[in-house]
Amino acid sequence: MNGAANGERNESLFQAACQMRDAGKNQHEIQSALMCRALEDGLGVEEVNKTLVSVFQRPAREAASGQGGRRPKRPTLRNRKPVTYTTAPKGNYELKKRELPRPIKNGAVELLRVAFNEGENVRIVMSTLEDNENGRPANEGTTLDREWWLERLIKLGGNLDSYDKKGGIFIGINPMTVKGCRDEHVTKFRHVLVEFDSIETLEEQWHLVNEAKLPCTAVITSGNKSLHAWVRVDAKNLAEYEQRRKLLFDHLEDHVDSKNANPGRLSRLPNSMRFDSRQELLALNVGAKNWQDFEAEIQAEAIGEEFDIETMMNFDTSNDPNNLLGNRWLCRGGSCLFVGQSGIGKSSLALQMAVTWALGKPVFGVKPVKPLKSLLIQAENDLGDVSEMLQGTFGRGGNKNRTGGNLGPARTPCGRR
């Protein structure tokens, strides 16, 4: 599709998807590989999803194989941009209990009105207790437009308690195509589901949602031991969704349930019973205003660290666990910069330090706390240059005419001049 005319882009996408399907790729793998490029080339999300779904509705062609026949062609979608993940600092949040808000009245209706737009399709799934005593989705569910569901819920007074489903009722966190039920049917990559199964109480989970300022469209009780936070990421495509989801999960690494990674994930529908508890909508539009504000906030946390007077007065400077060299001459997270004109021996000094500290011995009085490993990265010296410096470090001479060849009379790690 790279360079294809407007009328040929969909066909290029279809052919590329067929080739990958015949090579054994599933729908999710194909969408992950092709969606970003297809969107960049001008196709819409619904058009891409429809094309990819149609690929698996047709019989496979002759399987791609390296044995006999012609070598299979590469997918037409070439030069796809790789996904670049942003690293987020891990949040250091103290778990405290915060009183839960009162449930929002007509929670199911209000959730649909706020989390979805007019004309978008919503997936709702009943539960079953087969093979899972806590309740699991009974089937693929029903995906219809928001207005249809709203009309149905309003007729029921917004209350689904009359449905005798002990395992509760599920709802998809993102809009889908009509009758869609899989990740490849998602039309808007709007929400990531965050759940805190490792945190014992709902009050502590609610505190973390607020303390982390998660940009939540909705926070729902599961009817059991956890809250479901619909974090608004508003990604343009699957690639950006994965990037933002990873950043979010990295930040909440100590607490988040990492299984909730896919955009077609199911959450819990408010105003329905799960055994003796009710799934409730606790909050709408809490935390940061949008994803951009949230990302700026967590990246700012890595800029500095606050120290209080009591901590500083009680710190044992002679027993710093982060110390690496000398008396806190260099600690973990610190840096040492050599500045000087070309040819005075900076590279040779760096190599001598690496070798000597690897032996656990001091350099110019600076002693390591233990034998240290060093990684030297440079792009100016060839094998001969590095060999001269290393041999000079061990007192084996080398080319004396090269200024950086050795350290002259400096004492070496082995004790020889």
Q: What is the DSSP string of 139-191?
A: SS-EEEEHHHHHHHHHHTTT--TTS--TB-EEEESS-B-TT--SGGGBS-EEE
CB pairs under 8 A, 24+ apart, for 378-383? 378/347, 380/347, 381/347
pLDDT of residue 302: 64
What do you get for the CA distance between the two ends of the chain, in Å? 67
C-alpha to C-alpha distance for 73 and 204, rounded to whole angstroms: 54
Nearest residue to 244 via CA among 295, 208, 280, 284: 295
Whole-number Å distance between alpha carbons of 17 and 12: 9
User: At CB < 8 A and 24+ separation, what contacts does 255-259 make?
Assistant: 255/93, 255/196, 255/198, 255/199, 255/208, 256/194, 256/195, 256/196, 257/194, 257/195, 257/196, 257/197, 257/198
Other C-beta atoms within 10 Å of 159: how many? 16
Give the angle 173-174-175 at the CA atoms, nearest 5°: 135
CB 399 within 8 A of CB 405: yes
3-state per-residue secondary structure call for 232-297: EEEECCHHHHHHHHHHHHHHCCCCCCCCCCCCCCEEECCCEEECCEEECEEEEEECCCCHHHHHHH
- Rounded Cα distance between 229 and 414, Å, is 61
How far apart, in whole angstroms, are the C-alpha atoms of residue 279 and residue 163? 13
CA distance 346 to 342: 8
**Tokens 């240059």, residue located:** 385
Q: What is the mean pLDDT for each group of 10 consecutive residues in the chain (417 residues)?
A: 58 83 77 76 76 73 46 40 55 90 93 95 88 78 93 81 73 94 94 91 95 96 92 94 93 89 94 87 95 87 72 86 89 86 85 90 91 86 83 65 41 37
Q: pTM, whole model, 2 decimals? A: 0.57
CA–CA gap between residue 115 and residue 117 (Å, rounded):
7
Residue found under tokens 């709203």:
150
Domains of the chain, by residue range, sit at 1-82, 107-300, 316-393
Burial environment of residue 380 by CB neighbours within 10 A (0 to 12, 13 to 18, 19 or more):
exposed
Residue with tokens 């990246």, as numbered in its chain: 299
pLDDT for residue 33: 78
For 8-62, the pLDDT digits (tens) are: 777 888 888 888 888 877 777 787 778 777 777 777 777 777 787 777 766 665 5
The answer to whether 263 and 183 have CB atoms below 8 angstroms apart is: yes
Is residue 139 within 8 Å of 266, Cβ to Cβ?
no
- Spacing of C-alpha 335 from chain mean position: 29
For residue 119, the one-letter residue type is G
Strands 272-274 and 277-279: antiparallel
What would the two tokens of residue 291 be?
């994803």
Q: What is the CB neighbour count within 10 angstroms for residue 111?
A: 24
Class of domain 107-300: alpha beta
pLDDT for 215: 97
SS3 202: helix
pLDDT reported for residue 335:
86
